Chain A
Amino acid sequence: MRDVLTVARLGGRLFLGDGRAVGGIAVLGVCLGAGLPLLIAASLRSRDVEVVLGMHLGMLAVVLTMVATTQTAVTLSTRREMLVLKRLRASGLRGRAIIGGELVNIVTQATLLSALISMILYTFTYVPPPQLPLLFAACVVAVAGVLALIGVIFSIVTRRPDLNAPATIPFIVASAVGAGGYGPFVTGLLPGWVQWALDLLPTGAMVEIAGLAYRGGELATLTGPVLNLTVWALLGLVTVRFLFRWDPRR
């Protein structure tokens, strides 16, 4: 665990030392995650908490996918290409500490950004804070972790490191549509089977769990979404265990 935290600290230090990356992710995250729900809230003639909350959760899914999945894929493939992963491995660190540390770093960034976006919405719109705040926080952390694991899979299957970011775009779009990031009108147009398929993504589970955290209700209804996240996490862990590459393809 100590090694995981050491790698996470290193990742955080490198990220914070890169002003452009920090600024870019913060600005993009806040504009998307808070900007669109703010715009919707301001343009509705009457207060409609459900619509704004739906936009909030949809855009949060988009932001988490971009920060966790895309950033993990890009970071790991860039470090692999620069042979930094190989050097870290030669240092005596275990592979799980190297990957786990980077995931902890990225999940921390995603969680902090989610908190910032949520605070902005609670302050400037009529969306109330969640009735079950701990469930909401746990949901964000768990979903960010699963999405980061999917980012590791992208870094494995994308053959060219420069294509890692573009390769995640279809996944981001699918997550956004499924989670309601394009608004209730678009979501309402989707055929039932498409919505059902998109709900199988981790962001579909996030919308259900976070929705319950905001509205309150029986935790027993979360069996499906929790199972969804568990399956994705296991898929990610098994893929990483058997297919992760430390050396670039030559």
Chain B
Amino acid sequence: MTAIQVNRLSKSYGKFQAVDDISFEVEAGTVFALLGRNGAGKTTTIELLIGFQKPDTGSVRVLGLDPIKDRAQVRGNVGIMLQEAGFFPDLTAGQTVEIWRDFTPAARPASEALELAGLTAKAKTKVRQLSGGEKRRLDLALALLGRPDVLFLDEPTTGMDPEARRNIWEVVRDLAARGTTVLLTTHYLEEAQQLATNLAIMDRGEIVVDGDMAETLAARVGRVSFELPSVIDPGELPLPATVRGRLAVVQAADPDLAAQTLLGWASERGLRLRGLEVRAASLEDLFLELAQNHETPPNGAPARSDRPGRSGGARA
């Protein structure tokens, strides 16, 4: 079942095209990562999905409903963790959650929401005294109050320490396992890789890469890097390599096999490959590669080498 459906969606602010003809779908009970650089259009897409903004063209459906026309039904079934939103600074975390329960139909007990977000110990602390990461957790507690079927998390772990971040990951995994659909934006690519089963990467309002996380990464090359022995010329290596200074980098679909080939070759010659590092393709590599590809070329027109073949974006 499709929980979120985006069809040829566009939104502009004056001359700035924030979202440009994108399409994707998110299956119920999955975690979907919407990635991209700052200003790529992720937050605008979320704001269109939750009905904060009206699309210029195209349509969105959340749980089969229009977030603008069926606002009350949609809001009753979604939890929203905005990238930026304030609190009443003089209320405690516990009072904030209690007050939000008044606005939320069929809300969880405040203690349960605070526990899920890992904030029980801070229930009596005033919001103005919470750290940035603790405020994000309070944000999560409010988003989870209504036991949502769909959860929108816009950069949920920004400002959190590594332990808190991993705790939030556990909460998100647990929610997805219980059938909650999660749409996540994040700048922590490890987070997206850990949590999401599907992804879309946006650039300048368009989706430039999308699909199943594992398949997308499997289609990318891994890399083997090592310090080139001083007695060896790059041309003598058994595999094509890029050499910068003394660092040789071999890109390969199967980096383990490439490493075995290189070690066998070195062993035959009695050489040691110092600093040998084998890395499977990661989301970070893909992201950086896209960032390079989409830098504006000298003629001023953006290059879009990874643009999918279909017009208007892609289906996840």
- For residue B160, CB closer than 8 A to chain A, the reply is no
Question: B86 to chain A: which residues have CB within 8 Å?
Answer: 79, 82-84, 86-87
Interface of chain A, main secondary structure: helix
Whether B82 and A90, one on each chain, are in contact in the complex, defined by CB atoms closer than 8 angstroms, is yes
Expressed in whole angstroms, the Cα–Cα distance for A93 and B100 within the complex equals 10
Question: B82 to chain A: which residues have CB within 8 Å?
Answer: 86-87, 90
Task: Given the known inter-chain contacts A10-B99, A90-B50, A92-B75, please indicate yes or no for A84 contacting B87, CB distance below 8 A.
Answer: yes
Interface of chain B, main secondary structure: loop
What are 28 A-to-B residue pairs whose CB atoms are below 8 Å?
Answer: A3-B103, A6-B103, A10-B99, A17-B90, A82-B89, A83-B85, A83-B86, A84-B85, A84-B86, A86-B82, A86-B84, A86-B86, A87-B85, A87-B142, A89-B52, A90-B50, A90-B52, A90-B82, A90-B85, A91-B103, A91-B142, A92-B72, A92-B75, A92-B105, A93-B103, A94-B71, A94-B72, A246-B52
Expressed in whole angstroms, the Cα–Cα distance for A17 and B86 within the complex equals 18
- For residue B146, CB closer than 8 A to chain A, the reply is yes
Question: A91 to chain B: which residues have CB within 8 Å?
Answer: 100, 103-104, 142
| Nearest-CB residue, chain B, relative to A5 | B102
Task: Given the known inter-chain contacts A3-B103, A92-B75, please indicate yes or no for A14 contacting B85, CB distance below 8 A.
Answer: no
Q: Which residues of B contact A (CB under 8 A)?
A: 50, 52, 71-72, 75-76, 80, 82, 84-91, 99-100, 102-105, 142, 146
Whether B103 and A86, one on each chain, are in contact in the complex, defined by CB atoms closer than 8 angstroms, is no
The residue that A6 contacts in the complex, of B50, B80, B102, B105, with Cβ under 8 A, is B102
Interface string of A79-118 (1 = CB under 8 A from B): 1001110111111111000000000000000000000000
The residue that B80 contacts in the complex, of A10, A17, A90, with Cβ under 8 A, is A90
Expressed in whole angstroms, the Cα–Cα distance for A18 and B89 within the complex equals 12
Question: B88 to chain A: which residues have CB within 8 Å?
Answer: 14, 84
Question: B71 to chain A: which residues have CB within 8 Å?
Answer: 94
Q: Which residues of A1-55 are within 8 A (CB) of B?
A: 3, 6, 10, 14, 17-18
B100 to chain A minimum Cβ distance, whole angstroms, is 6
| Nearest-CB residue, chain A, relative to B100 | A91
Question: A17 to chain B: which residues have CB within 8 Å?
Answer: 90
Expressed in whole angstroms, the Cα–Cα distance for A92 and B102 within the complex equals 11
The 5 closest A-B pairs by CB, nearest first: A83-B86, A92-B75, A87-B85, A82-B86, A90-B80
A71 to chain B minimum Cβ distance, whole angstroms, is 16
With A18-B90, A86-B86 already in contact, 7 other A-B pairs whose C-beta atoms are closer than 8 Å: A3-B103, A82-B86, A83-B85, A92-B72, A92-B75, A92-B146, A94-B71
Question: B87 to chain A: which residues have CB within 8 Å?
Answer: 84, 87
Expressed in whole angstroms, the Cα–Cα distance for A10 and B87 within the complex equals 13
| Nearest-CB residue, chain A, relative to B139 | A87
Give the most central of B52, B85, B91, B104: most A CB within 10 Å. B85
B164 to chain A minimum Cβ distance, whole angstroms, is 21
A84 to chain B minimum Cβ distance, whole angstroms, is 4
A242 to chain B minimum Cβ distance, whole angstroms, is 13
B200 to chain A minimum Cβ distance, whole angstroms, is 23
| Nearest-CB residue, chain B, relative to A93 | B103
Question: B85 to chain A: which residues have CB within 8 Å?
Answer: 83-84, 86-87, 90
Expressed in whole angstroms, the Cα–Cα distance for A93 and B76 within the complex equals 10
Question: A246 to chain B: which residues have CB within 8 Å?
Answer: 52
Expressed in whole angstroms, the Cα–Cα distance for A18 and B71 within the complex equals 34
Question: B103 to chain A: which residues have CB within 8 Å?
Answer: 3, 6, 88, 91-93
Expressed in whole angstroms, the Cα–Cα distance for A139 and B50 within the complex equals 40
| Nearest-CB residue, chain A, relative to B142 | A91
Question: B146 to chain A: which residues have CB within 8 Å?
Answer: 92
Give the most central of A82, A89, A92: most B CB within 10 Å. A92
Task: Given the known inter-chain contacts A10-B99, A91-B142, A94-B71, please indicate yes or no for A83 contacting B104, CB distance below 8 A.
Answer: no
Expressed in whole angstroms, the Cα–Cα distance for A91 and B148 within the complex equals 12
| Nearest-CB residue, chain A, relative to B74 | A92
| Nearest-CB residue, chain B, relative to A13 | B99
| Nearest-CB residue, chain B, relative to A95 | B71
Expressed in whole angstroms, the Cα–Cα distance for A92 and B84 within the complex equals 17
